């Protein structure tokens, strides 16, 4: 349509649009990987705030000064990780392009890998009873079920896995593999969360709602919950999940 209506200018605009879409997508993935490493791994397990600060505060426990120091350190770490991941995208892209397999086939393989964790990730964001082991088991067993279905269904066709690319690339095989992987991940995560989830749904749901509102700019945490929490005196930033679950909230 752009070519018919705008001619060469339309082709140029669509080309620029594709380039921008790719750049935005890659930058979003880089930011996501950086956030996962810094917030979920580094700040949680490697270098948590309670035991880390570049400046040794004398005798007085100046909480705010220590936090500003710690936050400054995290900014530089985020910049470093973002740069590292950005640099690594180039050799990985070249390696992906060097694989002598049809591009559509490579995308379908990635689809089998990405389908099983879709529902568990969605549940961690929307369902307070989702357990960590439910998420992990759902993802792992979903991958196993997806790949087993993919290979076993492909093996049922003539020549089996000897004609690997032809049989594993059939549309029915891909649909079965992705469907089984997606369904297995969802069922395992839900069942484990229902069986081993919280024994006190009311309390857990209240804490869940508090945590869901931590980063809401329209209704900041401080305005909604700080007056009811024991964290008020030491709070210099949005509290972590551990701080919220450890605090005694006075429910009105």
What pLDDT does residue 208 have? Answer: 67
| Averaged pLDDT for residues 21-42 | 87
Whether 189 shows a pLDDT value over 90: the answer reads: yes
Highest average pLDDT, of 157-161, 220-224, 234-238, comes from 157-161
* Rounded Cα–Cα distance for residues 191 and 127 (Å): 13
- pLDDT grade for 59, boundaries at 50, 70 and 90: very low
Q: What does the CA dihedral 17, 118, 217, 213 come to, rounded to 10 degrees?
A: 180
| Averaged pLDDT for residues 40-59 | 65
For 194-222, the pLDDT digits (tens) are: 888 776 666 666 766 666 665 555 555 55
What pLDDT does residue 28 have? Answer: 87
**In whole angstroms, how far apart are CA 105 and each of 74, 99, 168, 174, 237?**
40, 11, 9, 10, 46
| Averaged pLDDT for residues 3-30 | 85
For 87-129, the pLDDT digits (tens) are: 888 888 888 788 777 777 777 788 888 889 999 998 888 887 8
Average pLDDT over all residues of the chain: 78
* Rounded Cα–Cα distance for residues 166 and 148 (Å): 17
Predicted TM-score (pTM) of this structure: 0.58
Work out the burial of residue 156: count CB atoms within 10 Å of its CB; fewer than 13 is exposed, 13-18 middle, 19 or more buried.
exposed
Highest average pLDDT, of 69-73, 132-136, 230-234, comes from 132-136
The encoded tokens of residue 114 equal 């990405």
> Which comes out higher in pLDDT, residue 236 or 133?
133
103 near 73, Cβ under 8 Å?
no
- pLDDT grade for 250, boundaries at 50, 70 and 90: very low
Over the range 164-199, which residues count as b (16 or more CB within 10 Å of their CB) and which as e? Answer: eeebbbeeebbebbbebbbbbbbebbbebbeeebee
* Rounded Cα–Cα distance for residues 228 and 90 (Å): 49
The encoded tokens of residue 145 equal 């079920």
* Rounded Cα–Cα distance for residues 178 and 142 (Å): 9
């Amino acid at each position: 349509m752009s070519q018919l209506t705008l001619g060469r200018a339309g082709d140029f605009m669509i080309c620029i649009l594709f380039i921008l879409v790719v750049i935005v997508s890659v930058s979003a993935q880089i930011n996501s990987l950086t956030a996962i490493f810094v917030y979920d791994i580094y700040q949680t397990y490697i270098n948590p705030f309670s035991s880390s600060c570049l400046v040794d505060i004398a005798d007085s426990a100046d909480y705010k000064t220590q936090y500003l120091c710690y936050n400054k350190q995290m900014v530089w770490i985020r910049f470093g990780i973002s740069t590292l991941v950005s640099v690594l995208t180039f050799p990985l892209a070249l390696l992906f392009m060097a694989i002598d397999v049809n591009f559509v086939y490579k995308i379908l393989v990635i689809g089998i890998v990405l389908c099983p964790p879709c529902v568990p990730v969605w549940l961690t964001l929307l369902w307070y009873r989702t357990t960590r082991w439910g998420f992990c088991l759902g993802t792992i067993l979903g991958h196993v079920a997806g790949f087993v279905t993919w290979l076993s269904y492909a093996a049922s066709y003539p020549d089996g896995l000897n004609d690997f690319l032809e049989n594993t690339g059939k549309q029915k095989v891909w649909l079965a593999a992705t469907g089984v992987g997606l369904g297995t991940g969802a069922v395992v995560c839900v069942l484990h969360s229902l069986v081993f989830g919280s024994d006190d749904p009311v309390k857990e749901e209240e804490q869940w709602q508090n945590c869901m509102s931590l980063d809401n700019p329209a209704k900041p945490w401080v305005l909604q919950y700080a007056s009811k929490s024991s964290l008020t005196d030491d709070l210099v930033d949005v509290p972590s999940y551990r701080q919220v679950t450890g605090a005694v909230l006075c429910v009105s």
